Amino acid sequence: MNRALAAGILAASVMLGGCSNVRESLGLVRQSPDEFTVVTKSPLVLPPDFGLRPPIPGAPPVAQAADPQAQALNALANAGGVGPA
């Protein structure tokens, strides 16, 4: 009985494996990318006011002005006062 069941399962899988739709749904068919497809990207645009402010002497760097852990906690706890849209 075990051999008959195993043979039946093997035969069914071989028959189903021959179907192209089953192969595609199981992911056995590889889809090659189209090398002639051209993806257009929008051009880079500079903002109208691109001037940088001069640094303030003696001020801490902007990246280190706030504690990153505190910023993360505020973002996670939604303590910034801004609720979900």
**Cα separation of 75 and 66, whole Å?**
13
CA distances from 51 to 46, 47, 54, 63 (A): 11, 9, 9, 19
Q: What is the pLDDT of residues 7-16, one digit of tens each?
A: 999 888 877 7
CA distances from 18 to 10, 12, 47 (A): 13, 10, 58
- Specify the residue for token string 């996670």: 76
Residue 81 is predicted with a pLDDT of 58
The model's confidence at residue 56, banded by pLDDT at 50, 70 and 90, is confident
What is the DSSP code (8-state) at residue 67? Answer: -
Q: Where is pLDDT greater, at 85 or 2?
A: 2
The model's confidence at residue 31, banded by pLDDT at 50, 70 and 90, is confident
